[in-house]
């Protein structure tokens, strides 16, 4: 048996300005460093030029119930 819950999240697809990797991001805080290569990217990410957003996305969380 499992339990599930839904949470509305702001989904972002970020293209890293340093290495051009695509990263799916649901954390409300923007990344300071590239998760792929470690380069400081906060200024470029804040500009939003390489970001695609969906503010109507839903995250479904399913966890097993231990009895």
CB 48 within 8 A of CB 10: no
The C-alpha atoms of residue 21 and residue 53 are separated, in whole angstroms, by 16
pTM of the model as a whole? 0.71
Look at residue 64 in the predicted model and tell me its pLDDT: 76
Indicate the DSSP class of residue 26. Answer: -
Look at residue 1 in the predicted model and tell me its pLDDT: 62
DSSP 33-51: B-TTT--B-HHHHHHTTTE
pLDDT tens readout for residues 17-52 = 999 999 999 888 999 999 999 999 999 888 887 788
């Amino acid at each position: 048996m499992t339990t599930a819950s839904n949470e509305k999240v702001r989904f972002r697809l970020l293209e890293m300005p340093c290495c051009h990797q695509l990263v799916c991001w649901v954390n409300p805080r923007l990344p300071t460093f590239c998760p792929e290569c470690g380069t400081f990217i906060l200024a470029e990410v804040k500009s939003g030029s390489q970001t695609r957003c969906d503010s109507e996305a839903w995250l479904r969380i399913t966890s097993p119930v231990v009895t």
